[in-house]
Amino acid sequence: MSTIQAPRRGAIPSLRHALAAASPYAAIAGAPPNYIVIPQQISMWGNDVHGDCVTAEEAFAKACNNPEIFISDASVISWATRHNVLEGAYLSDVLTWMENDGFPDTSLVYDDGAHFSVNWADAAVLTSAIYEGPVKLGIAADQLETAWHSTGGHSGWFGTGWHADNNEDHCVALCGYGTISWLAQQLNVAVPSSVNGNQQGYAMFTWDSIGIIDVSSMIAVTQEAWIRRPTTVTKSTAAWSGWASEAGVLTSDIAVGRNADGRLEAFVRGTDNALWHKWQVTPNGGWSGWVSEGGVLTSDIAVGRNADGRMEVFVRGTDNALWHKWQTTPNGGWSGWVSEGGVLTSDIAVGQNADGRMEVFVRGTDNALWHKWQTTPNGGWSGWVSEGGVLTSEITVSRNLDGRMEVFVRGTDNAMWHKWQVTPNGGWSGWISEGGVLTSNIAVGQNADGRMEAFVRGTDNAMWHKWQTTPNGGWSGWISEGGILTSDIAIGRNNSGRLETFVRGTDNAMWHKWQTAPNSGWSGWASEGGVLTSRIAAASDADGRLEGFVRGTDQALWHKWQTHPM
């Protein structure tokens, strides 16, 4: 046996009332037959000299995040000390505290999601839970320590043939499952001749190592099992304000435009189905009261801006035609309502040509894309023209770096389809599919280098995206950014040029993630709280601070904002 120092333990069996009150985890469909997460960096996290195994396991769970989050040993020991669990802890207590008081890291804090008990003796339930995130176990560790010593404390130990032991004194994590041979391949170790590699096993973290344990041995020593859903909740501690109410009673999603002088203006439908709006009284400042602009709206509102800076709003009326009104001067008052005809079966999307002429896009009664445009900047409008297609979503408009507009829709095959102007201000290409299976409308942002990027919700309710590989060019494949979305996606762009996405989660809070550098990869998901009953509208203040607008459970307008440009 190795002569290395014996590690510490520190788990205290959770109290019976905590176990009895726990919500049970229910398996989800889609877990693959073999799965493992092996973080690039793991540690003892103090468990070599302290009985903080329950907290150390939390740090391991964060390391399993994508992208990986490494919590330092000092941070883990500090957290355990602050909560008086450095030398022993109930698993259920630590799980509860971690939901709202996780590991701090500069301007972020890494919390747990809600925790659920897991039936570790049911293979289908346990493998599903492991696939969602590491499963936290309370076990009896005498036989585990013997296995750990067999490799000198390094990864690749094997635990097989263990006898029943109910003396729970240690906390570990399961981070993979599959046949023992497959798990050994992932850990780059050989299966001992005495072990049947074809039997099922689990990958287990303990004491700065990952080893393999067979099913019967895991069951023999386990006394409790838990999953966090999600494993990691990244929260901002400094970047965003709290939620503030702007009152009102909203019956639509929110549209936000920006005046010529930089003041934001919010537009909604009220309980009388009229258009209501309010605006910042100074750039970056406080807000006016609500003012009605009349009308009878049967759609959400779209906001565009004329070449001279005057905002213009577009809605569907009770006759299903397109109606609009506009500021009569930049930053000024509003015209009456004017109809542009048509028979609309969708909300309106507004784009702006390279020469400043606005163009509106709708779905017609034939489910095709129809559009009309200003014939001169700030001027009157053309007739309606069809661009064909069979649309099953709202329309999204973006603009290439060279000024050519591009429209994005979901087709009857649930894939993303798009078409684009072949020249700035000019005619249109045919429809092209970008594949995917979409369960939301499409959101499109523009990277700092001008490349467009499209975001959707997939059949797994995660966020998926693809991007132009060069400005004005072709597209990448689809990539998942995870999450569980219950809304369409909103996109903002930070003052630094980094894209940021906003969604509603399963807890009805606002969640977001952002590019860690312009044109680059993405952070983990972070919650900004709140209880949302609408999609999110994102806009930029005059000073570059992003601001998010939502409807709350009281049907009022709520918003929060970055405390400084980022």
Asked if residue 130 has pLDDT above 90, the reply is yes
Q: Name the β-bridge partners of 215.
A: none
Q: Are 392 and 324 in contact (CB under 8 A)?
A: no
User: Residues near 360 by Cβ (< 8 Å), separated by ≥ 6?
Assistant: 302, 304, 314, 322, 340, 348, 349, 350, 351, 371, 372, 373
Q: In one letter, which amino acid is 115? A: H
d(CA 17, CA 3): 41
Cis (ω within 30 of 0) for the bond into 67? Answer: yes
State residue 256's pLDDT score: 98
pLDDT, one tens digit per residue, over 390-417 is: 999 999 999 999 999 999 999 999 999 9
d(CA 407, CA 450): 16
Q: Are 483 and 505 in contact (CB under 8 A)?
A: yes
State residue 3's pLDDT score: 52
State residue 546's pLDDT score: 96
Q: Are 351 and 399 in contact (CB under 8 A)?
A: yes
When pLDDT is cut at 50, 70 and 90, the band that residue 2 belongs to is very low
Q: Domain segments of the chain: what residues? A: 11-236
Nearest Cα residue to 260 out of 322, 191, 309:
309
pLDDT, one tens digit per residue, over 238-273 is: 688 999 999 999 999 999 999 999 999 999 999 999
Q: How far apart are the first and last CA of the chain?
A: 54
Give the mean model confidence (pLDDT) for residues 461-470: 97
Query: pTM here?
Result: 0.67
- Architecture of the domain whose range is 11-236: Alpha-Beta Complex (3.90)
pLDDT, one tens digit per residue, over 34-67 is: 999 999 999 999 999 999 999 999 999 999 998 8
When pLDDT is cut at 50, 70 and 90, the band that residue 566 belongs to is confident
